[in-house]
Structure 1
Amino acid sequence: MSSMPFHPSPSLTTLDARARDIFRSIVETYLETGEPVGSRTLSRGTIALSPASIRNTMQDLTLAGLLASPHTSSGRVPTHAGLRLFVDGLLEIGDVGTEERREIDARLAGLARPGGRVDFDQALNEASSLLSGLAGGAGIVASPVRDTGIKHVEFVALGHDQALAILVAEDGQVENRLMPMGPGMTPSTLQEASNFLNARLKGRSLTEARGEMSQELNSARQALDAAAARLVEDGMAAWSGAAGPRSLIVRGRANLLQDREALEDLDRVRVLFDDLEQKEQLIGLLDGVSEAQGVRIFIGAETRLFSLSGSSVIAAPYMTGRQRVLGAVGVIGPTRLNYARIIPLVDYTARVLSRLFDGQEP
């Protein structure tokens, strides 16, 4: 056996040159063919070592958790941890092809209406279809949070123990929330809480105001009646989801059945299809992309949502010209995605969407 050192969480620095070369070859061959990779395949290729020497290193890589051996084959496939190590440290990412760039530009830029206005829903549907067709997986898009300014807020008593919290947005939408009324609530308490919020929320979005409200409320507690302060806190909590419904656009589910590996493991595909129906969890995953500068990659068991189906997600945020993140766009498919090709596709599509939405709000 080789003397290559390993640690519980291996990194590229723990692999010697031979191990890195063999590991890279195994992953690249697997991503290309979808088949377990054996030592004889490598010895006939770019690895100038005997099959026995290669097998020794493959065994070390397996013990390190970077490779696995399917029951039906003596070859190896990368684990999710191995794919993560490869993507983070060994993957050579290319650029978007000229034809692909031209198609993305034409299909998205062509959606601008006279005056430069863009139909957000149409653009996001087109982006999802584009990525599905170009990448071969399913294209996914999380729609923007429609967080318009607030025109008026009011608390109305509905009895001795319940109140109605009313929020009127500048675009005319009205959000009503039922709230319990604690002891000490009087008509003047409701009016005091309403006045406090109107003075601070009018013309601002909930997202803008929420971060500052808790600090303002702490400093205003001495001036506010204790019951009114509780009502303000409860009202802000009740309206936390009032920014408008989110939609999830998924195009190209049929692509997920084209892969030979998928046809051999239809149970995994069924689990993936069930995962795609988990709208709130998938939107939550894509919202996490908003914190990234560029493309995020989620591989298999790294996310609870796709731990059973063993799928990967490649996603990037799209934003306004003022750098306010609106949502995320991406591709989902088996872990055997063509990462080198799909990462720049997703990144470029997100950047084109951002240019398309420059200066506009949903």
Structure 2
Amino acid sequence: MLNERSREIFRTIVDAYVETGEPIGSRTISRRLGLNLSPATIRNVMADLEEAGLLFAPHTSAGRLPTDAGLRLFVDGLLEVGRLSQDERDNLDARCAAGGRSFSAVLEQATQTLSGLSRCAGLVLAPKTESALKHAEFVALGPGRALVVLVTEDGLVENRVIEVPVGVPASALVTAGNFLSARMVGFTLEEAKAALVQELAQNQAELDELTARLVEAGLASWSGERSGGSLIVRGQKNLLEDINALEDLDRVRRLFEMLETKETMMRLVEATHRGEGVQIFIGSANSLFGIAGCSMVIAPYMNSREQIVGAIGVIGPTRINYARIIPMVDYTAKVIGRSIG
């Protein structure tokens, strides 16, 4: 338990660390606090905090930095989480909205947006697409363009924009949608694609030429779709900006290697299903990576039935701006959830 004076000094040290990444000494703390505390008194408090495992000195006669355990205490008990402004919410809504894009494109954009706003690497765990299909539909968007909509039985909605002949009648779009629905319902996307491609190739489908072209275009729009979950990471270069020592470079290299492994993705799945809301993993003590100097803030997103289907967040140095990033990740996860339908 920290008394009021210890809390204020500890908070000042953490704030300075998030701001600069540099150790802070007693005289600087005294000036920042503006309280009637001498540097000697502050040094005594810092010594107590160090003995408690919350601070450490990177080298002799230096100021102090928070330990991973200290950051954990700060985030859990002392952090005052900020709120996103309406402009920030509107910005995230606009950037991450579906807007006729596929769900994978929405995830890609959301990850890049989080990376840019947080100056960290953004990561998203995309849901598996192994659920059986429930519905297929073609929607006219304007001259030469249409939207192909697939709905899975677990509520995931996928959209693709395709090019169609100018002046294509609405009846052809309806017929193409009915054709896909009749043959895809109850099958996974990969199963349905394989059967439909064969049927079209063997001219077994009783379709006119225009409708057949629409069906083929709809199937082609899902080419290369992976049937398993995937981990998308964007903005890795942000992790290289604060490197000032070889050990930092080695740490980031090891992190990159871990992010490319299937095991990491499975651990993310387990972590997001264990708890609700934003989860924070700090430094070498975290159960996901165990790499000193790295933190991750991640939140699950849900489908319309409130089932967790994936997760999105950021990973960066332990001195990330938790107060700003936590609500940002939380809100982005909610925006993605609304895009699923």
Do the two structures share a fold, i.e. TM-score over 0.5? yes
Match of 2:71 in 1: 83
Measure how far apart 1:173 and its partner are: 4.4
Matched, 1:352 2:335: yes
Mapped partners of 1:80, 1:127: distance in 2: 28
8 Å CA contact 2:13–2:64 kept in 1: the answer is yes
Residue 289 in 1 paired to residue 276 in 2?
A: no
The Cα of 1:262 is off from its aligned counterpart by 6.8
SS at match of 1:93: coil
Structure 2 letter corresponding to 1:354:
G
> C-alpha offsets along residues 274-309 of structure 1, whole Å, 9 cap, x if unaligned?
222224324422541233221100001223543234
Map 1:77-156; keep pairs closer than 5 Å.
77-109=65-97, 111-113=98-100, 119-149=102-132
Tell me, yes or no, if structure 1 residue 40 matches structure 2 residue 27: yes
Task: Give 2:56's aligned amino acid.
Answer: A
Answer whether contact 2:280 2:296 (CA < 8 A) is retained: yes
2:72 and 2:116 map into 1 onto residues whose CA distance is 25
User: Map of 1:15-26 to 2, 5 A cutoff?
Assistant: 15-26=2-13
* Partner SS for 2:314: strand
Query: Secondary structure at the residue paired with 1:44?
Result: helix
After superposition, the C-alpha distances for 1:11-54 in whole angstroms (9 at most, x for unaligned) are xxx21121111111111111111111111111112143111111
The yes-or-no answer on 1:170 pairing with 2:187 is yes
> How large is the Cα RMSD of the aligned pairs?
2.4
State how 1:303-318 maps to structure 2 within 5 Å: 303-318=286-301
Q: Distance in 2 between matches of 1:256 and 1:86?
A: 23
- Partner of 1:69 in structure 2? 57
Amino acid at match of 2:254: V
Give the equivalent residue in structure 2 for 1:202: none
Unpaired runs of 5+ in structure 1? 1-13, 151-168, 175-242
Following superposition, the deviation at residue 85 of structure 1 comes to 0.5
C-alpha distance 128-286 of structure 1, shift in aligned 2 (>3 A): farther
Cα distance between partner residues in 1 of 2:60 and 2:258: 27
CA contact (8 A) 2:281 2:288 kept: no
Which of the residues 257, 265, 272 maps onto 2:240? 257
Q: CA separation of 1:295/1:301 partners in 2, compared to 1, >3 Å: closer, same or farther?
A: same
Query: 1:300 touches 1:335 (CA, 8 Å); kept in 2?
Result: yes
Gapped runs of 5+ residues in structure 2?
134-185, 192-225
Deviations 1:77-106 (A, max 9, x none): 111110010001111111113333222111
> 1:42, 1:301 → 2: CA distance?
27
CA contact 2:284–2:290 (8 Å) conserved in 1:
yes
Map 1:215-234 to 2 at 5 A. Answer: none
Report the residue type matching 2:336 in the other structure: L
Label 1:309 to 1:80 Cα distance change in 2 as closer, same or farther (>3 A): closer
Distance 1:278 1:304, change over 3 A: farther
Kindly state the Cα deviation for residue 148 of structure 1 after the two structures are TM-superposed: 1.8
Q: CA deviation at 1:336?
A: 0.4
CA deviations 1:251-277 (Å, max 9, x no partner) are: 000111112557883222222222222
Deviation string 1:310-339 (CA, Å, 9 cap, x unpaired) is: 210100111111101110000000000000
Residue in structure 2 matched with residue 10 of structure 1 by the alignment: none
For residues 200-219 of structure 1, what are the structure 2 equivalents within 5 Å?
Answer: none
Moved more, 349-358 or 308-317: 308-317
CA contact (8 A) 2:130 2:189 kept: no
* Residue aligned with 2:122, SS: strand
TM-score, normalised by the number of residues in structure 2 = 0.69
Aligned to 2:39: 51
Tell me by how many angstroms 1:171 deviates. Answer: 2.1
Query: Residue by residue, what CA displacement relative to the aligned partner does 1:41-84 show, whole Å, maximum 9, x if unpaired?
Result: 11112143111111111011001101111026521111111001
Letter of the 1:346 counterpart? V
User: Number of residues paired by the alignment?
Assistant: 256
Alignment partner, residue 328 of structure 1? 311
